[in-house]
Chains A and B, each alone.
Chain A
Amino acid sequence: MSINKNTILCYRSYCLNVSQSFRRCGSNLRSEIGGKFGTSVQSYFVFLKWLLMFNVFSFLVNFGFITIPQLVYDFSPNVPNTTSFRGLEILTGAGYFNYTVMYYGSYSNETLEGAVDYKMQLGYFFTIAVYMVLCGIALIFSMASSFKANYVLADTTSGGAWQLLCSWDFSMTNERAVRQRKNNLRESLSEKAQRKQLTSSEKLRHFGIYLGAWLLSSSLTVGCGASIFFLCRYEQLTLLVPFMVSLMNMVVPLFFSLFNKFEHYSSQRRQIYVLVARNVLLRMCILGVLCYYWMNVVATEYSCWESVVGQALYRLVFVDFIFLLLGSFFGEFLSNVVGTRLLPRLGIPEFDVARNVLEIIYAQTLAWIGIYFSPLLPAIQILKFFILFYIKKVSLMQNCQPPRRTGRAAQMKTIFTALLFFPFFLGALAIVGYTAWSLTPSKHCGPFRGLDSTFSVVEVWMVQLNSTGGSEVVIFVYQNVIRSEIFYFLITIIILVIVYIFWQVSQGRKQLIVLLRQQIVNEGKDKSFLLEKLQNLQKSQPNIRSKNHKKVGIPSLLARFS
């Protein structure tokens, strides 16, 4: 009996220890990274983990609904005898991989007989469509919830001195980090206290420099786009384009940071926003040029063009991964060595959260564009993010110091999610949508061969349902909701009316707030006026108080007012 009790106790304490160490492993992010480097660096790693979840979901869905039926139907890839597996395929994505289920081209367009009749065309189309829609909904909800939590009443005081004082990070335990934060806080506070006024000639000069910097960065961006378009012609050097794209993405932002140093900004936040905006424009321009080339040139010239695009995206993803690792090496490790041994003036490098977040958002966009052309690309992306997480963590611990600016982690999370959604996700969705809507699928390979456009799969299915007398509801919904223009017109009008009503309500509430503040000030003045009168009354007539203390109860009156 006692042995059982002992073993149970032993087992329970063992379980407690395991769960404790598990919990510590999971909350390692919070204590290790958050404690030493602050909450903004921690938010980068949390964001990376969140994006990894998207890819895991995408891989499971694609593998389950697209690849497994294809593998069940036709297990061996029909590789021609000339190509065999050489190790080089991992780098270029072409060759042997071209004939496997990695790319669009090797999926069949038939109805797969088996336990269940599985229409491959519909399966492919609806899997991709539903995944993109779910991604969009998840992003919208995440953005809306963090927006609601973090932008309550954007007042003139947001960004004021109180925000600086109350954002002291109590979880910081590193002595040096604390000292640095104190220094930066002191600088920001003395800046706030001074509030210099600029003369108009100085303002004009600052505006001129600002305009010049914008012109330079826009011309750099356009130049990069044009050179990528020109280089795309040289298809024989398969790795040239991905290499140049990643090189530009690494080098040109350094120029942007250089321009940033010469410009003068009224607040640090605006400086970061402008830098991020320029980087986003650069990456979107390059991606736009590449997509234009793929949609207009590759789609008409090659026979199995979707696989070619898939391979190009695979190469981009892979080379981007290599450059991210190199960037970590040069940006952090070498900077640390230079900063500590060779040029002590530079000091230990900081972990640049904004640049790193932008890099992983860009990597995720490549994966989102690539899902249509290469359904198993999320697998590569999962590996990439997984390895990147640990490399960045190790590099952070060994090489970097905490960021000097007091990072506003909550707002940054909102900005990251908004950046992820607006330019990048919507852009990827637009590219995939345009491909599905307007471009002719290739005639000899892939699940949509022989059709005019990918979307006509749904039309064909509707015709089939109609002729075989299928579900009435689906046909009704398709004819009167999805295909009719009046429905969309009505919905738009209703949404505009609702937005207008909410806007008016918020304007009214702003006026109410001003009135209420004024009322509080007036009440304060009333209170001090009445207190003064009461004290004067007390001083002038002390006898009355002793006679009438039962009736008047002055102490309770005083207590009620103060």
Chain B
Amino acid sequence: MGTTASQLGKDLLSEYQELTFLTKQEILLAHKRFSELLTKDEKDVPNVRVPMERILTLPELKSNPFRKRICLVFSTSEHKDGSLTFEDFLDLLSAFSDSATMEIKSHYAFRIFDFDDDGTLDCDDLQQLVNCLTGETEDTRLTQDEMRQLISNILEESDIDKDGTVNLSEFQHVISRSPDFISSFKIVL
């Protein structure tokens, strides 16, 4: 299965529609935007893989603090370099779409926040998460004391079995009480 030339076949379109949460118009728009990222030689190659740097030029991802993690999570390449095929791209948009369920969104949010990919959010992951959200440079980060206090507050709130890390169920439990999450975890082209 792959995409050829500049038009999506009708049966491919309906297959994508069944497999993802996207509507037909959204898939076509995604195809158009993805094709704009391809160079002239790549346009005829089926299953072409676009490197991460080019994906990050999309305006929807350019200013997102989690852009690199998003590409790494949705990438299916063996080298784990964050490059995306068109189907990876559709997966990304599907998880961030309006109609995706809370379980899907919280599952992917957990994977995005898990910076070391070990299946739990420990102190290092939380520290990197806070740094991503507060600022990249030295003067906009929190001080060491503030960071330590904040992480212990976070763990106190969400670590139910008191093992020092936040696993997927605890994360989903916290998310379920945040009504803003499902409407803010959205990327629309």
State the main secondary structure of chain A at its contact with B.
Answer: helix
Whether A167 touches B133, Cβ cut-off 8 Å, given contacts A30-B188, A193-B146, is: no
Q: Which of A150, A152, A170, A521 contacts B64 (CB 8 A)?
A: A170
Residue B45 CB within 8 A of the other chain? no
Least distance between A324 CB and chain B CB atoms (Å): 28
Number of interface residues of B (CB under 8 A): 48
Find out whether the CB atom of B142 lies under 8 angstroms from the CB atom of A186.
yes
Tier of interface size on chain A: 35 or more
Chain B residues, CB < 8 A from A523: 161
Closest to A174 in B: B63
Most buried by A among B96, B142, B146: B146
Give the segment of A61-69, A175-183, A267-275, A377-385 that binds chain B: A175-183
CB–CB A167/B161 < 8 A: no
Contacts of B188 on A, CB cut-off 8 Å?
27, 30-31, 35, 171
A170-B185, A186-B140 known; A409 vs B180 contact (CB < 8 Å): yes
Please tell me which one of the listed residues B133, B142, B157, B160 contacts residue A521 in the complex, with CB atoms under 8 A apart: B160
A170 touches B133 (CB 8 A): no
By secondary structure, the B interface counts as helix
Residues of B within 8 A of A186 (CB): 133-135, 140-142
- The verdict on A398 contacting chain B, using a C-beta distance below 8 Å, is no
Minimum C-beta distance from B128 to chain A (A) = 12
Interface residues of B in 148-169 (CB under 8 A from A): 149-150, 153-154, 157-158, 160-163
- Residues of A146-198 contacting chain B, CB below 8 A: 149-153, 155, 157-158, 160-163, 165-175, 178, 182-183, 185-186, 189-190, 192-195
Q: Give the residues in chain B near A162, CB-CB below 8 Å.
A: 154, 157-158, 174, 178
A20-B25, A193-B149 as given contacts; A520 in contact with B161, CB under 8 Å: yes
Q: Tell me if B142 and A155 are in contact (CB < 8 A).
A: no
Nearest chain A CB to B174's CB is how many angstroms away? 5
Which chain B residues lie closer than 8 Å to A411 at the CB level?
Answer: 179-180
CB atoms of A158 and B177 under 8 A apart: yes
Q: Which of B59, B135, B150, B158 has the most CB of A within 10 A?
A: B150
Contact A152 B176 (CB under 8 A): yes
Beta-carbon nearest neighbor of B176 in chain A: A152
Inter-chain contact A410/B63, CB cutoff 8 Å: no
Residue of A nearest to B129 (CB): A165
Q: Let me know if B160 and A182 touch, CB within 8 A.
A: no
Would B178 and A167 count as touching, CB distance under 8 A? yes
A19 at the interface (CB under 8 A from B): yes
Give the chain A neighbours of B163 by CB distance below 8 A: 524, 528
User: Interface centre among A30, A150, A167, by most B CB within 10 Å?
Assistant: A167
Q: Does A454 belong to the interface (CB within 8 Å)?
A: no
A152 contacts B177, C-beta separation under 8 Å: yes
Q: Are A182 and B133 in contact (CB under 8 A)?
A: yes
With an 8 A cutoff between CB atoms, is B187 at the interface?
yes
Known A160-B153, A192-B150, A193-B150; contact A173-B63, beta-carbon cutoff 8 A: yes
Contact yes or no, A410 B180, CB < 8 A: yes
Counting CB contacts under 8 A, is A86 at the interface? Answer: no
A173 to B184, Cβ gap below 8 A?
no
Q: Is the CB of B177 within 8 A of A173?
A: no
Structural contact, B178 and A170, CB atoms closer than 8 A: no
Q: Which residue of B lies closest to A31 (CB)?
A: B188
Q: Which residues of B contact A182 (CB under 8 A)?
A: 65, 133-135, 140
A408 beta carbon closer than 8 Å to chain B: yes
Contact, CB under 8 Å: B178 / A183: no
Complex CA gap A152/B162 in Å reads: 23
CA distance A79 to B141 in the complex (A): 74
Interchain CB contact (< 8 A) of A166 among B130, B140, B181 = B181
Asked if A23 is at the interface (CB within 8 A of a chain B CB), the reply is yes
The answer for the CA separation of A171 and B185 in the assembled complex, in Å, is 7
Distance (whole angstroms) from the CB of A86 to the closest CB of chain B: 51
Contact mask A343-359 → B, CB, 8 Å, 1/0? 00000000000000000
A121 near B: Cβ within 8 Å? Answer: no
Contact among A19, A168, A408, A410 with B133 in the assembled complex (CB-CB below 8 Å): A168
CB under 8 Å from chain A, chain B span 41-91: 59-60, 62-66
CB-CB under 8 A for A166 and B161, given A193-B150, A409-B183: no
Judge whether B183 and A39 touch: CB under 8 Å: yes
Bound Cα distance A172, B134 (Å): 15
A517 at interface, CB cutoff 8 A: yes
Verify A166–B174 contact, CB threshold 8 A: yes
* B42 shortest CB reach to chain A, Å: 25
Interchain CB contact under 8 A, A171 and B187: yes
Which residue of the partner chain, among B157, B162, B181, contacts A524 with CB atoms under 8 Å? B162
B150 touches A161 (CB 8 A): yes
Nearest B residue to A156 via CB reads B157
> From residue A515, how far is it (CB to closest CB) to chain B in Å?
13
A150 to B66, CA, bound (A): 26
Evaluate contact between B177 and A157: CB separation under 8 angstroms: yes
Q: Which of A188-240 contact B (CB under 8 A)?
A: 189-190, 192-195
Bound-state Cα–Cα, A97 to B39, Å: 67
- From B23, which residue of chain A is reached at the shortest CB distance? A23
Q: Is the CB of B186 closer than 8 A to any CB of chain A?
A: yes
Decide yes or no whether B8 CB sits under 8 A from chain A. Answer: no
Judge whether A170 and B187 touch: CB under 8 Å.
Answer: yes
Residue contact B146 to A170, C-beta cutoff 8 Å: no
Which residue, B96, B174, B179, B185, has most C-beta atoms of chain A within 10 A?
B179
| Residue from A19, A173, A183, A189 within 8 A of B60 (CB atoms) | A173
Contact A23:B25 (CB < 8 A) given known A157-B157, A182-B135, A186-B135: yes
Interface check B109, CB cutoff 8 A: yes
**Residue numbers in B under 8 Å from A408 (CB-CB):** 180
Cα separation A183 to B135 with both chains bound (whole Å): 8
Interface residue? B100 (CB, 8 A): no
Complex CA gap A152/B180 in Å reads 12
Task: Collect the chain A residues with CB atoms within 8 Å of residue B162's CB.
Answer: 521, 524-525
Contact B184 A170 (CB under 8 A): yes
Contact with A along B93-120 (1 / 0, CB 8 A): 0001000000000000100000000000
- Is B123 located at the chain interface by the 8 A CB criterion? no
A297–chain B nearest beta-carbon distance, Å: 47
Residues of B within 8 A of A183 (CB): 135, 140
Q: Which 9 pairs from chain A and chain B are nearest by CB?
A: A524-B161, A186-B134, A150-B179, A410-B179, A193-B149, A193-B146, A193-B150, A167-B180, A178-B63
Can you show 9 pairs from A to B with CB atoms below 8 A apart?
Answer: A19-B25, A160-B154, A173-B59, A182-B140, A189-B130, A409-B184, A521-B160, A524-B162, A528-B163
Residues of B within 8 A of A (CB): 25, 28-29, 59-60, 62-66, 96, 109, 129-130, 133-135, 140-143, 145-147, 149-150, 153-154, 157-158, 160-163, 174-181, 183-188
> Other than the known A158-B178, A165-B130, A168-B184, what 7 A-B pairs have Cβ atoms closer than 8 Å?
A19-B25, A20-B28, A166-B174, A167-B178, A168-B65, A173-B60, A189-B150
